[in-house]
Structure formats: structure tokens, C-alpha cells
A and B are shown apart, each in its own frame.
Chain A
Amino acid sequence: MNPKIRILDQHCVNQIAAGEVIERPLSVIKELVENSLDALANKVEITVEGRGTSLIRIKDNGIGINPEDLCLAVKPHATSKIGKIEDLDSLNSLGFRGEALASIASVSKLSIVSRTRDQIAATEIRIEGGQVISTSEVGSPAGTTVTVEDLFFNTPARLKFLSSDSTEFGLISDMVGRLALARPDVSFSLRRPNNLIFNTAGLGDLLDGIASVLGNDTARKLIPIEYNEGNLSISGFISPPDFSRSSRQGITFIVNGRVIRSKLLNSALKNGYHTLLPSNMYPTAVINLSLPPAEYDVNVHPAKMEIKFKSERNLSQVLTDTVRKTLLGSRPLTRLSLVSDEQKPYPQIKKSDLPGHVKSNSWEQIRMQYSSKTNYNPKINYSSKTGINSTINDNLIPQQPEANPVIPNEKDDKNSFFQDLRPIGQLFSTYILTTDDKGLYIIDQHAAHERIRYENILDVYRNTKTASQTLLIPEIVELTLQEEQLILAHYEELYNLGFILEHFGERTYFLRGVPILNNLEAPQKMFKLFVDEIINNPIPPSSERLIEKWIFVLACRSAIKANDRLSLLEMEELLMKLGKTNNPYSCPHGRPIIIEISKKELENKFNR
């Protein structure tokens, strides 16, 4: 017997819909905080108990909800943010679907206390599993407080698939951190019952927000990034290449105040670091994009974490270029810190704070000093001591912390820097010691020469048309549907690269020619490699990006190696040529070329 088709009741519909919007406790927080922000709050307090299922409370000082609207607000598709679908094109609020509160209400015990500024008393509404239990008048400051208890109490399956307390709370604090970065003008605080996790001042300074969320150490190292043209502007901070991490965790993208995830922007950012970072390392970045709402669509998924851009190619190109320009302009030298605390630009760190000089005033300081000693490394100090020390002096943090000590410079400056460098000698027949009388710079001769060769070869490649070796017996290549589409879309790049393809049958192609480049692999394998490269990279790669692995090999083989003795003349020549490259700071694989030890560091080390 066939089951009868019927229309689901409203409660059931809400619960299913809730599954999309409210995936885990973190989604509750994201939705409610966005409501607060849409209500023009400049202070948002978040309290979370456990992993967020027992209690989540969001308190804001926004405009509040009219008492008569309160019952309506928890109904599905009820919103004050848009009136018709065209409003989406000029949307300024974060929310618009009118689903969040209804969804939360249907899977939890919810209470909302809200007072608008011209009301005397606040109204409280209590809802359980979507049913209004009570409404009453209570006393409360202006704004809205939403309390969510027993989340998922009526959807045990969801509850069962949540992770541990620490994982869920980790996700929550990560999300709140990102929301705070998106709105430095709003004061955020995240609390557990007896514990303040972090709070931001809400004074509108992004760097200040970064210091609160990502740590002072990070804030100190980041470089500002700026782009303004037409209706697109990009602002924010990115990390210098020597401050990288092994995951994308440190990257936050904000589009018009909305925190988003974007594979496209991620790889555009990463491309900006191309050859500055090893391929498995990622930068830390907080990037604000502002562009007209009509230029993108947030209505891709109910969670609104993903958005679609109208001009993807252009946007990612602009981001990549901006990042690259900023990085290369900032003279991204790797600094070798001889003295652990020396390079702190925060003025409150005095010499007396150096190891051995700490005035141990409090237990806290003694403890910190001790703990940092355990990972004290006399040569290169990556310890978190800097961060810890400044946390102690939290109240002393100046409002305008000096940004990265290296001010972004233009290309001329890079040249003049290299012009001033003169070689002192060679160390271990591997490193060139140089100075400009302001510091000591140690240059890896192989990396430097590799960079020069790489750019030379790339230059030649750009100016020569790659010849294609035709094949006597064509290779038969079978492609998947996806591959075929990509191949057809990038046919021209592949052709320019030297691949001659001929359609043979359904998803089958004859490979009739392959690029004539030395050290390349078997035609079909090579072709597949390129296809994979195209598939893995959402931004269409240029043909030179496709063959650059082979250029790397050519560059590496033809470069001088470690243990090659160099004369002073050769070193001078190498420095001169290095100065002329586009990126003299890292080798094509992303390893640093130059390490700097400043004069000041040396003086400090010698107690002068």
C-alpha cells in the first residue's frame, strides 16, 4: 500500500526549517547577535553555559521590540527588515529571512525581554517548543535580552550529534570573535558563568579589536591593507609572511559587516602570498570588503555564511593584487630576535621588563616570568612572552598601538634598501652577511639565486610562445563530465601552454601535442596534473601558474647551492640582481631569503 501524501503541520515544518538555520548552539548565537546588531546595539553581552544547550543569553542595548510586535516576532517569516524581495538589493541589515527567532523558538525554551526607549516597562514573552506560554510586564533597561534554555530539548537527534563542551564552546568563541572583528564599533563580551572570556572595547578601532580577539602579539605584527576604487573598497589587516600558521583558522572575511566564509576569497588571499608562503601555510587576516548589496547574493543558504559574488574573477584578482602589493611594499623581512622582548613596540614595555630585570611585583608576574622561561630559546624566540607580558599590563594598553614597525613602502624604497646593502662576507659558504649600517642581514645564497633565476625564467617564458611537440600516436584521454567542462572553459590556456586537444567522442579526447619543456612527465600524466590543478584552484590559473612547478625545478637546478664559495664581487652582483626582482624576500617555495638582525638588537644583547 502506498503511503498517503499529506501536508505537514506548521510545528513540524518549523522544526525541519530550524534544522537548516539552527545547526548547533553557535548558530543560535550568530542569529541572535546579528539581530542585536540589526537593532543598532553598540553593546552585546553573550553568556553561554556548558556547550550552549543549557543556556545562551544575549543582552543588547538596541532599539528593542514594540510589545505588540513581540508575539509576531517569533512567528516564521516575520521580519521588520525587508518588505519585498527587491529590498534584498539594497539590504543593509544582516538578517532578512524572518526565520531565526521562529526556528530557535521551535527547538528550545525561549524568553525575550524587550523594552523600546519610549516604553516605561519591558515586556517578557516565554515560549516553549514554539508555543507561547506567557507574556508579562517586567522591569529592564532599554534593549532586548534573549535567553535560550534547553536547546534541542525536543530534537534529541540533533542533541546527540553535538560535540563535547569544549568543542562547541570553541566554535562559539571563534564565531563571537569574528563577529566582534566585523563590528569593532560594538562592544562585545563573551562570558561563561564565572568567567569573562574576552571583551572588546567597541571604540571602532579594528586593530584594538584584533588585539582583544586574536591577541596583542598578532595585532602588533599585522600590516594594514587598503584598496578603494569604484564601489569596491577593501580594508583590514594581513599578517607578514613570517607570521603564518598551518590552517585557515586565522582568516576572517567580512562583507559589509557580515562575517562570511568563502573559498574564493580564501584562495585569492592565499594567491596574494604566492611564493611568499610555503604552500601548506596560511596567513592571518581580517579583511573587510565593502561593496553595494546588489553586487552579491547572501540568500544562498539560510545560515548566510556563504555568499555569491557577481564578478568573482574581478573581485579575487583585486584582492590578490592588493594583498601582494601590500606585502611586497612592506619589506617582509624575517627578523631574528636575539633578545626576547626587544622588538615590542608597545611603549609600556620598558627595558626593565627584559629577562633578569623584571620587577617581580605580583605573583602573576612571577608566574608568568617562570612559565615563559621554560620555553626561552636563546637564539630565536617565538615564545608567547610578549603577549603574556602585555596582558598583565592590560589596563595600560594605549589606544593607538604602533602597528608593524616596518612602514609599508613603495617599490623605490625596496630598491634603495638593496642598493645600500653591501656584503661583508660569506658564512659557512652558504649565507651572505650584508649590512646597510643599520642592521645585519643574512641572505641565503641559494634561495636568493633561485629567486633571481625563477623570475628570469618566468620572464622568458612570458615572452616566448611555448612550442608543442606533436605526437605520432595520440594519447587518448578520458575525462569526467566536470573535467570536460573545465577543459573546455580553459581550452585557450591549455592550448597556449602547448596541449593540442582534439575531440574524439563522448568525454574522450585525443591529446595530439604536449608542451616541449624539459623534465616534464609523460604526456597524459602531465595533462591530468594540469587538469587537477585547474579543478583544485577555483580561480582560473594562468598558464604560467600551471607550469611553475617545472620552472621551480629549472630555477633550483641552475641556482648556486649551499657550500658554493663566492667572491665579494659575486656577492655584490647577487645582491644587485636580487634587488631588481619583484619579490626579493622569499624564494619561490616561500622560504625566507633575508633575515634581519637590527643594530639595536645587537646593542641590547651586548648591554650597551
Chain B
Amino acid sequence: MKIICKKEDLLLGVNTVQRAVSSKSTLPILQSIKMRTENNYLWFEATDLEIGIRCQIPVNVMEEGQVVIPAKLFSEIVRKLPDTEIKIESQDSNINIYYYSSDFVINGYDPEEYPEISDISSSENIEIPATIFKSMIKQTIIACAVEETRPVFTGILLQIEGENINLVSTDTHRLAHSQSVIPGNQKEFKGIIPSKTMQEIYRLLQDDDILYISYNNNRVILKFGSVQIITRLIEGQFPNYKQVIPQTCGTKLLINTKKFLDTVERASLLSRDNYLKTNTVRFNIENSAININQFSETGKINEKIDIDQDGEDVTIAFNAKYIIDVLKVVETENILMESSGSFSPCIFRPEDDDNYLCLVLPLRS
């Protein structure tokens, strides 16, 4: 392989695929990046066997070929290369990087040994604008479980039902559901995508991209711009989320999102800092106002915000983090809070937007 390219292109390629490189693996070759040429493009590939990322950059190909190069060392070098024309040339598994009149040689791996990131031969293809999908990810990823004991909860459910596309996540303490419309779509699909993959998609998606999603039984491939992400699906049955979302409520509140967020964050300062670090927040809702009266060994706080109340008074406690999380991803000026009593799930949704909701389970004490 022999190519000439620009440093910034090289850096872009490395940065794009690097998150898919295994940080620790018994298979050392997984800690490297594969580069191969194809019609004056250089493809970067990296995979930890769960997620695979590919991307291409334009280069001047003088000799076709492919190399596998240790990711950490290569990315550090690329970062430190001078802003000039770079020539990369491989001899057997040695990779020479030439710049000005200097060169750097890295011992690579045999490209034949690198695991193939296979394509999905599927005509099933869904098209969705990047901005929409990004915001769906942002609104649902907050409710993914962190601990690995129940894998289905560490991912986000992607469910396509005709014209509807849904992302759903839950850690059993809360549930986030975001949906959107794909006009004219007739296909059906259901699969759980690891949250790590979703993070990468979110990171790499550019706002003007169009996202193409295709899938088969156990994998999903997402293509946008010059990037392709292939991900394994999490095995297991995602709970029937429609069943747990209450359809009625006893109290309906309309609250200014920003004020509410600031209030809860201030209250959380106290409860987060206590000895047990339980981070709880209790709302007393009455007379069209939310009152928060909390104290800890370090101090106390009395907050009151006026709201539009429709329905009964209620006193309800939450893990403050869960409330803050949802308030941060809701972009409308006001947020709707629907409660059915102290011990029942509470729904938060943006004002005048039926496409998103976050269900938060209260604390019982």
C-alpha cells in the first residue's frame, strides 16, 4: 500500500473509528485500526466485535493495499504529525510514515488476520434525518441502565412499526420513550442497540446528514456521510413498554422547564451532599405551586414555583437525578407533569409534543 494524504484527513479518520477499538482485549489485533484503499479513498475500520465503525477519506492512492496498525500509537503519532502532506507506505507488515524528510516506522499486524466487519445484504432500508434521530437518542439514552446484570436494560430498543420509529430505554426506575414518523415506511423491526453504539452514533452524526438504517436478525448497520456503524444487537426480550405507561392521571401540571430544573438542581445540592448521598427531592404540590422544603446536616432549602395545576394535590418524592436528567433533555419552554398519586409512576412530557415522554418511578418512604 502506498498513499499520500493530508494530516487533517488522517486525523479525522482515526478519530472517527477510534472509539470502536478495544481498550483491553486478549486478542491484541483488536487494539488496532485497519486501513485499506479503494478507488482513491482510504477506508478506516475498527471493531471490538460488538461495534464496528468504518469511515472513508479521500487520498491519493499510488499503490493499492491494506494495513493493520496499533491504534493507540498510531493515533498519538497522527496527532503529533506536522500539518503537511503525509506519505504512508507498507512493506510486509511494517508501516512507514513519511513527513518532510523524516519517517516513522510502526510494526503492524497481518491484515488477513483482522476480523471482517461484514456488510448486511439487505434491501430493507430506512431513511431518517440526522437531527431527528440525534434528538431521539439524546432523550432516551438518559434512562439506560449502567450495570451489566440485566443486559436488555443497558441498550435502547429500536422499534419500527410502519410509519412509526420508536426508541425506548429503561433501567426499571424510569422509562424514556421517543417516537418519530418515517413517511411511507411499511417495514417492521425490533432490536436492542447497545447504549455505547448509540453514543457513537450521536457523536458522529452531523446535523445535515441523512441516516440510513438497515438490519437483519442480529445486527444493525447505520450509514451516514462517510461513516458506517455496524452493531450487534443485545439479546433478550425488552419488556412491553406500552403496558406500563399509564393512560390516565389524577393531577396534571404545567411547569416552566428552566425554573423547575434550577429549583431541583438547587435542592439536589443539599440532598446530594448529605452523608448517605441519597439525592432525594420531595415535591409538595398544592394551590398551583410546587413546594420543596428540604434540609440536611449542612443546611435547608425552601423553594416555591408557581405552576398550572389541574387536579388533586399530591406529595411525591423522587431521585433528584432522574428529574434533572429529563428536564435537561426537554427543549420546550414548559413541561407537563402527570401524576396519579404518591406511589404511582409519574409522566413528564414536553408541552404540545406527544412524541416524547419520560416515566419516573417515585420513592416510597
CB distance from A514 to the nearest CB of B (A): 9
Query: Would you list which residues of chain B between 316 and 352 have a CB under 8 Å from chain A?
Result: 317, 319, 343, 345
Q: Which residue of B lies closest to A475 (CB)?
A: B172
Interface segment, one of B5-13, B30-38, B356-364? B356-364
Asked if B275 CB lies within 8 Å of chain A CBs, one says yes
**Is the CB–CB distance between A525 and B170 below 8 Å?**
no
CB distance from A457 to the nearest CB of B (A): 4
Chain B positions within 8 Å of A522 at CB level: 147, 149-150
Q: A279 to B293: give the CA distance in the assembly, Å.
A: 42
**Is the CB–CB distance between A467 and B244 below 8 Å?**
no
Chain B positions within 8 Å of A466 at CB level: 278, 365
**Is the CB–CB distance between B345 and A517 below 8 Å?**
no
Asked if A473 CB lies within 8 Å of chain B CBs, one says yes
Asked if B174 CB lies within 8 Å of chain A CBs, one says yes
**Is the CB–CB distance between A554 and B277 below 8 Å?**
yes
Asked if A470 CB lies within 8 Å of chain B CBs, one says yes
Asked if A468 CB lies within 8 Å of chain B CBs, one says yes
Cβ proximity bits B155-178 to A, threshold 8 Å, 1 near / 0 not: 000000000000000101111000
**Is the CB–CB distance between B172 and A523 below 8 Å?**
yes
Interface centre among B150, B170, B239, B363 (most CB of A within 10 A): B363
Chain B positions within 8 Å of A457 at CB level: 275-276
Number of chain B residues whose Cβ lies closer than 8 Å to a Cβ of chain A: 28
Q: Which residue of B lies closest to A558 (CB)?
A: B275
Asked if A521 CB lies within 8 Å of chain B CBs, one says yes
Asked if A133 CB lies within 8 Å of chain B CBs, one says no
Chain A positions within 8 Å of B244 at CB level: 472-473
Interface centre among B149, B279, B364 (most CB of A within 10 A): B364
**Is the CB–CB distance between A516 and B170 below 8 Å?**
no
Q: Which residue of B lies closest to A522 (CB)?
A: B149
CB distance from A559 to the nearest CB of B (A): 12
Q: A473 to B345: give the CA distance in the assembly, Å.
A: 11
**Is the CB–CB distance between A471 and B280 below 8 Å?**
no
Query: Would you list which residues of chain B between 166 and 221 have a CB under 8 Å from chain A?
Result: 170, 172-175
CB distance from A211 to the nearest CB of B (A): 47
**Is the CB–CB distance between B363 and A467 below 8 Å?**
yes
Q: Which residue of A lies closest to B345 (CB)?
A: A472
> Known: A473-B170, A473-B172. Contact between A554 and B275, CB under 8 A?
yes
**Is the CB–CB distance between A521 and B149 below 8 Å?**
yes
Asked if B354 CB lies within 8 Å of chain A CBs, one says no
CB distance from B152 to the nearest CB of A (A): 10
Asked if A513 CB lies within 8 Å of chain B CBs, one says yes
Query: Would you list which residues of chain A between 2 and 57 have a CB under 8 Å from chain B?
Result: none
CB distance from B284 to the nearest CB of A (A): 16
B239, B319, B365: the one within 8 Å of A473 (CB) = B239
Q: Which residue of A lies closest to B363 (CB)?
A: A467
B279, B359, B365: the one within 8 Å of A472 (CB) = B359
Query: Would you list which residues of chain A between 226 and 275 have a CB under 8 Å from chain B?
Result: none
B175, B359, B363: the one within 8 Å of A516 (CB) = B363
Asked if B256 CB lies within 8 Å of chain A CBs, one says no
Asked if B353 CB lies within 8 Å of chain A CBs, one says no
> Known: A460-B275, A472-B175, A518-B278. Contact between A500 and B364, CB under 8 A?
yes
Q: A285 to B343: give the CA distance in the assembly, Å.
A: 51
Q: Which residue of B lies closest to A550 (CB)?
A: B276
**Is the CB–CB distance between B150 and A460 below 8 Å?**
no
Q: A456 to B274: give the CA distance in the assembly, Å.
A: 11
Q: A287 to B332: give the CA distance in the assembly, Å.
A: 71
**Is the CB–CB distance between B149 and A472 below 8 Å?**
no
**Is the CB–CB distance between A472 and B147 below 8 Å?**
no
**Is chain A's binding surface mostly helix, strand, loop or mixed?**
mixed
Cβ proximity bits A500-534 to B, threshold 8 Å, 1 near / 0 not: 10000000000001001110011111000000000
**Is the CB–CB distance between B274 and A460 below 8 Å?**
yes
Chain A positions within 8 Å of B112 at CB level: none
**Is the CB–CB distance between A513 and B364 below 8 Å?**
yes
CB distance from B340 to the nearest CB of A (A): 13
Chain B positions within 8 Å of A525 at CB level: 149
Chain A positions within 8 Å of B361 at CB level: 469-472
CB distance from B245 to the nearest CB of A (A): 10
**Is the CB–CB distance between B149 and A467 below 8 Å?**
no
Cβ proximity bits A539-573 to B, threshold 8 Å, 1 near / 0 not: 00000000000000010000000000000000000
CB distance from A492 to the nearest CB of B (A): 15
Query: Would you list which residues of chain A between 341 and 370 have a CB under 8 Å from chain B?
Result: none
**Is the CB–CB distance between A470 and B364 below 8 Å?**
yes
Interface centre among A465, A470, A523 (most CB of B within 10 A): A470
A468, A518, A521, A523: the one within 8 Å of B363 (CB) = A468
**Is the CB–CB distance between B277 and A467 below 8 Å?**
no
Q: A469 to B319: give the CA distance in the assembly, Å.
A: 8
Asked if B297 CB lies within 8 Å of chain A CBs, one says yes
Chain B positions within 8 Å of A400 at CB level: none
Asked if A198 CB lies within 8 Å of chain B CBs, one says no
Q: Which residue of B lies closest to A518 (CB)?
A: B277
Q: A475 to B361: give the CA distance in the assembly, Å.
A: 14
**Is the CB–CB distance between A554 and B276 below 8 Å?**
yes
CB distance from B230 to the nearest CB of A (A): 29
Cβ proximity bits B80-117 to A, threshold 8 Å, 1 near / 0 not: 00000000000000000000000000000000000000
Q: A385 to B179: give the CA distance in the assembly, Å.
A: 79
Asked if A482 CB lies within 8 Å of chain B CBs, one says no
CB distance from B354 to the nearest CB of A (A): 20
Q: Which residue of A lies closest to B147 (CB)?
A: A522
**Is the CB–CB distance between A470 and B278 below 8 Å?**
no
**Is the CB–CB distance between B277 and A470 below 8 Å?**
no
Interface centre among B150, B172, B277, B359 (most CB of A within 10 A): B172
Chain B positions within 8 Å of A521 at CB level: 147, 149
> Known: A460-B275, A460-B297, A518-B277. Contact between A469 and B173, CB under 8 A?
yes
**Is the CB–CB distance between B276 and A472 below 8 Å?**
no
> Known: A472-B359, A521-B149, A522-B149. Contact between A464 and B172, CB under 8 A?
no
Q: Which residue of B lies closest to A520 (CB)?
A: B147
Asked if A461 CB lies within 8 Å of chain B CBs, one says yes
CB distance from A190 to the nearest CB of B (A): 55
CB distance from B44 to the nearest CB of A (A): 37
Q: A552 to B247: give the CA distance in the assembly, Å.
A: 43
CB distance from B51 to the nearest CB of A (A): 24
Q: A461 to B291: give the CA distance in the assembly, Å.
A: 25
Interface centre among A461, A513, A516 (most CB of B within 10 A): A516
Q: A350 to B275: give the CA distance in the assembly, Å.
A: 53
**Is the CB–CB distance between A468 and B276 below 8 Å?**
no
Chain A positions within 8 Å of B278 at CB level: 466-467, 516-518
What would 19 A/B residue contacts be, using CB atoms closer than 8 Å? A457-B276, A461-B275, A467-B365, A468-B363, A468-B364, A469-B173, A469-B319, A471-B172, A471-B173, A472-B244, A472-B361, A475-B172, A513-B364, A516-B280, A516-B319, A517-B276, A517-B278, A522-B149, A523-B172
Could you list which residues of chain A lie within 8 angstroms of chain B, going by C-beta atoms?
Answer: 453, 456-457, 460-461, 464-473, 475, 500, 513, 516-518, 521-525, 554
Closest 6 CB pairs between A and B? Answer: A522-B149, A467-B365, A467-B363, A460-B275, A457-B275, A470-B361
Given A464-B276, A468-B365, A522-B149, output 15 extra A-B contacts at Cβ < 8 Å: A460-B297, A461-B275, A467-B280, A470-B364, A472-B170, A472-B172, A472-B174, A472-B244, A473-B239, A516-B319, A517-B278, A521-B147, A522-B150, A554-B276, A554-B277
